[in-house]
């Protein structure tokens, strides 16, 4: 076990990397807004470019996030990979890249789907609570407005590339790779898992997202620690985002199919109750 090394950098590195992540998104969003008029002509995008010029950065990120995610990923993924590469030269556990075991793949997917089921139950509870508590209703309306960005309006290609692939990889490199790796130098692995989950939840900033993101982040960090394979949380994150963005966009307007998907996910949540102890007993590393 690595020697505990609690230093100022234990706090500075995670917070500074999160700020860099947010700053890059902000810069890319501004550049996107400024270049959209000619970029849309060159790329053949059919959209009112003038409308974008009057939006603030946050509105732009909301409305065009799938595209922006692809563009900021072209910066952040190489940057984080380079940081982890140089870290691994001096510290072997800077990032765990063990080949995923086949026995871990199916349980990882089951847990990912189950997490969507838990999220759906949470949403149902918040919607019911919102009927009596106006501030909860406002928070849900704010979240649902943001969730509209994860539609197929830009095309499924951008939605899949940005939300299902690029965003998960960049966030996994940051939170499970860099941040969890830094935290484990100063604290037990289980505490590093919890801490990175708290940071990942707060990173999303919107109250409803903070609430429902914590549990998936906890699961991703735990699976990373248990399997010693970075590719397992990447797989889980990809599945979670695909089911949480692409699938709802595909079944939008079909209430019967939407409800079927939700009940399937809730069913997987129940199955996950048995899968999680299995995974723990297979590895027992935290």
Q: Give the per-residue pLDDT at 247.
A: 92
pLDDT by residue (tens digit) across 181-218?
999 989 999 999 999 999 999 999 889 999 999 999 99
**DSSP label of 187:** S
Sorting pLDDT into bands at 50, 70 and 90, what band is 49? very low
Using alpha carbons, list the distances in angstroms from residue 213 to 186, 200, 254: 24, 8, 26
pLDDT by residue (tens digit) across 67-81?
999 999 999 999 999
Measured distance CA(254)–CA(201) in Å, rounded: 31
pLDDT by residue (tens digit) across 241-277?
999 999 998 888 888 999 999 999 999 999 998 888 8
pLDDT by residue (tens digit) across 104-162?
999 999 999 999 999 999 999 999 998 898 999 999 988 888 777 677 777 889 999 99
- How many Cβ atoms are within 10 Å of 146's Cβ, its own excluded? 17
Query: Are the beta carbons of 167 and 241 closer than 8 angstroms?
Result: yes
Measured distance CA(150)–CA(85) in Å, rounded: 32
- How many Cβ atoms are within 10 Å of 107's Cβ, its own excluded? 21
User: CA triplet 233, 237, 238: central angle to 5 degrees?
Assistant: 120
Q: Give the per-residue pLDDT at 1.
A: 44
Average pLDDT over the chain, rounded to whole? 88
User: CA triplet 215, 217, 221: central angle to 5 degrees?
Assistant: 120
Q: Which two tokens stand for residue 179?
A: 């941040």
Torsion angle, CA of 84/86/90/93, rounded to 10 degrees? 10
Q: What are the percentages of helix, strand and coil residues in the chain, rounded to 5?
A: 80, 0, 20
Measured distance CA(145)–CA(168) in Å, rounded: 21
């Amino acid at each position: 076990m690595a020697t505990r090394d609690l230093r100022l950098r234990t706090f500075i590195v995670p917070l500074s990397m999160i700020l860099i992540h947010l700053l890059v998104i902000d810069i890319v969003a501004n550049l996107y807004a400024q270049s959209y008029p000619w970029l849309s002509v060159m790329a053949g995008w059919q959209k009112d470019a003038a409308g974008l010029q009057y939006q603030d950065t946050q509105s732009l990120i909301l409305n065009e996030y799938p595209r922006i995610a692809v563009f900021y990923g072209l910066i952040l993924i190489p940057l984080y990979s380079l940081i982890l590469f140089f870290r691994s030269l001096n510290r072997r556990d800077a990032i765990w890249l063990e080949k995923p075991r086949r026995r871990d793949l199916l349980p990882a997917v089951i847990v990912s789907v189950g997490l969507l089921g838990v999220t759906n139950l949470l949403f149902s509870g918040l919607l019911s609570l919102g009927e009596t508590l106006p501030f909860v209703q406002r928070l849900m309306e704010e979240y649902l407005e943001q969730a509209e960005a994860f539609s197929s309006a830009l095309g499924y290609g951008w939605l899949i590339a940005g939300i299902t692939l690029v965003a998960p990889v960049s966030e996994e490199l940051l939170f499970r790779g860099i941040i969890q790796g830094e935290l484990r130098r100063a604290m037990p692995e289980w505490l590093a898992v919890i801490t990175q989950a708290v940071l990942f939840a707060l990173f999303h900033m919107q109250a409803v997202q903070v609430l429902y993101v914590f549990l998936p982040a906890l699961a991703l960090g735990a699976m990373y620690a248990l399997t010693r394979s970075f590719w397992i949380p990447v797989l889980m994150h990809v599945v979670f985002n695909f089911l949480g963005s692409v699938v709802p966009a595909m079944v939008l307007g079909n209430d019967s199919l939407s409800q079927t998907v939700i009940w399937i996910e809730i069913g997987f949540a129940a199955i996950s109750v048995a899968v999680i102890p299995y995974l723990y007993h297979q590895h027992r590393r935290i």
